[in-house]
């Protein structure tokens, strides 16, 4: 695990090397993302969190920063079908996008960190002549625990 400061430095460098400027607003936004690595925050969520530390920031700036970071492949932009885009840091040890389990009882989104798709990607290439650069795999269903009343979300929130 690399420290937050180091990760931040590396992200800033990537920004600068691509010709973008490093600003305090962008830094504040990245810091929030680093501190909520796997929270699936919406742009609004990120905005509110950044705002507690940097109250004069504008919503549009957060949107533009998230867009930029997505372009640089530093964050991933997700869509769970509820009309809001969600964002997570894309850590260097996970090149590919991870998979999700979305609970239809409690709405909780949990991640699968492994990459289960390498084989299928080769198959896509063989059978369809399609070169995969990224993927998105979501499972919709229910956690056994949720079905039995011991809801997953409650357990998480309790911690």
Partner DNA sequence: ATGTTTAATTAGAATGATTATAATTTAATA
Partner DNA sequence: TATTAAATTATAATCATTCTAATTAAACAT
Residues in binding site for Fe cation: 94, 135
Max intra-chain CA distance, the chain: 53
Residue 35: CB minimum distance to DNA, A = 18
Residue 138: CB minimum distance to its own copies, A = 5
Known binding residues for Zn(2+) are 103, 106, 146
Q: Which is nearer to its own copies, 3 or 128 (CB)?
A: 128
Measured in whole angstroms, the distance separating CA 3 from the mean position of its chain's CA atoms is 18
Q: Which of the choices its own copies, DNA, none does residue 105 contact, using the CB cut-off of 5 to 8 A by kind?
A: none
In the list 34, 39, 64, 102, the residue contacting DNA (rule: CB under 7 A) is 64
> Judged by CB under 7 A, does residue 84 bind DNA?
yes
Q: Which of 68, 35, 61 is nearest to 49 (CA)?
A: 35
d(CA 92, CA 77): 16
Residue 63: CB minimum distance to DNA, A = 4
DSSP H helices in 36-117: 43-53, 59-71
Distant-in-sequence, close-in-space partners of 29: CB < 8 Å, separation ≥ 6 = 46, 50, 57, 61, 62, 65, 66, 69
List interacting residues with its own copies (CB under 8 A): 77, 79, 81, 85, 101, 103-104, 110, 112, 116, 120-121, 123-124, 128-145, 147
């Amino acid at each position: 695990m690399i420290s937050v400061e180091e990760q931040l430095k590396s992200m800033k460098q990537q920004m600068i090397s691509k010709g973008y400027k490093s600003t305090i607003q962008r830094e504040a936004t990245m810091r929030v993302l680093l501190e909520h690595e796997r929270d699936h925050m919406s742009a609004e969520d990120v905005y509110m969190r950044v705002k507690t530390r940097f109250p004069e920031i504008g919503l549009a700036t957060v949107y533009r920063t998230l867009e930029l970071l997505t372009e640089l492949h530093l964050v991933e932009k997700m869509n769970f079908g509820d009309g809001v885009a969600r964002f997570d840091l894309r850590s260097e040890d996970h090149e590919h996008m991870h998979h999700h389990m979305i609970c239809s009882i409690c709405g909780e989104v949990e991640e699968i960190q492994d990459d289960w798709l390498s084989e299928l990607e080769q198959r896509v290439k063989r059978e369809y002549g399609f070169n995969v650069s990224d993927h998105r795999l979501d499972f919709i269903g229910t956690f056994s625990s949720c079905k039995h009343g011991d809801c997953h979300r409650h357990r998480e929130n309790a911690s």
